[in-house]
Amino acid sequence: MAKKSKEKVKRKSSAVRGSLDYPFLILVIALMGIGLLMLFSASYAAAYYDPKINNATYYFTRQAIFAVAGVSIMFIISFMDYRRFRVLSPLLMIGSIALLILVLIIGKGNFGEKRWIDLGFIQFQPSEIAKVAVIFFFSSMISVNSDKMKTFRYGVLPFVAVLAVIAGLMFLEPHLSGAVLIVGVGAALMWMGGTHWGWFASAIGAAGVAGVAAISFLDYARKRVETYINPFLDPQGDGYQIIQSLYAIGSGGALGLGFGNSRQKYLYLPEAHNDFIFAIVCEELGFIGAVIILALFALLIIRGYWIALHARDKFGSLLAGGITTMVALQTVLNIGVVTGVLPVTGAALPFFSYGGTALLILLAEMGVVLSVSRYIPAKKAG
């Protein structure tokens, strides 16, 4: 009798699992592949002329290694039951806060900021882990208290407290773009969870006040806004990067200069392989190539939200929705900065910008979305 019960449970469990969402998977692989090619093109001049590196394929090789490892992790996670991640969310949150405190003590950066922890064999930004922690922790809390989300005690207070701690620590680094992204995805999850709209209206007002305060008291924030309004006020200083970015975009025209033929990457455009890689995309692939890449991002985001809407349970829906929102926000923020629509913030372009650990974490997140897709009821899959 017991044997029959176990077999029944086993059959039921296997019936619950479906196949991976192949449209989402194909879009992830496509963006990663194009991103690696563009990173190679955008980075080889900087790597070759850097006396500490003097190897044109340095950035590409390292990114490719992390990409292979990331894809492997993505598939491993995709075959796991995403519901098991719920118990890990508090530990992940505590660990991320501890790392954000640690980076203020031992962190490193290129321009005096403290954003990276260097372990010798690898460097990583604790902010990347904090993004994942917020998504997992908020998804878990909201799914448990879904019927109480319209109350201040359960639907606002704990989430605002967590965001205040994490964003506050990131402001101290300072890492403005990371703080904006985390607050943005946290607010999106609260909205998905059912927090009353009135609290968001209040938050927008508070954000406006905080923005004015940041511009008034933080020199780097004020300079970025001034540069945003008119980069030609300081063409050789704060405005230099965005001006060179606009030159690259304008040079591309409709069809681009051709893959590998960018001129701005030859040490004219700072961070050409990192935050401003989309400018090189526009220069080499032109308007048409850039639109195709934006279309791939749009399809990925739409499919991610489709998976979230059809998830088996609230926790899975919030996980997929939160991860998709993070990709969407980061993409919009990066492209807005590169094209001069938004002030320079330092946000990377998912799948494209150089950063091995960031790519590894991003692909792991894609694995979580694929895991959620495997548990979508058969009649909804498609």
pLDDT higher than threshold 50 for residue 11: no
What would the pLDDT profile of 199-222 be if each residue is shown by its tens digit?
A: 788 878 877 887 777 777 777 677
Contact between 194 and 149 under an 8 Å Cβ cutoff? The reply is yes
Contact between 138 and 68 under an 8 Å Cβ cutoff? The reply is no
Helices marked H in the chain: 2-16, 22-49, 58-78, 89-106, 126-144, 152-155, 157-172, 176-193, 197-217, 219-229, 240-252, 277-309, 314-338, 356-374
Residue 124 has a pLDDT of: 84
State the DSSP string of 243-285: HHHHHHHHHHTTT-S-TT--STTTTTSTTTTTTTHHHHHHHHH
Of residues 354 and 233, the one with the higher pLDDT is 354
Residues written for the chain:
382
247-267 average pLDDT score:
93
Strand partners, 83: none
Helix (H) or strand (E) holding 117: strand 117-118
What would the pLDDT profile of 63-81 be if each residue is shown by its tens digit?
A: 999 999 999 999 999 999 9
Residue 261 has a pLDDT of: 93
The pTM for the full model equals 0.89
Q: How many angstroms separate the Cα of 335 from the Cα of each of 92, 115, 278, 281?
A: 30, 22, 7, 11
Q: How confident is the model at residue 178 (pLDDT cuts 50, 70, 90)?
A: confident
Q: How confident is the model at residue 161 (pLDDT cuts 50, 70, 90)?
A: very high
> Which token pair is 247?
């030159």
Contact between 354 and 373 under an 8 Å Cβ cutoff? The reply is no
Q: Is 90 left (phi over 0), alpha (psi -120 to 50) or beta?
A: alpha
Residue 380 has a pLDDT of: 57
Residue 115 has a pLDDT of: 82
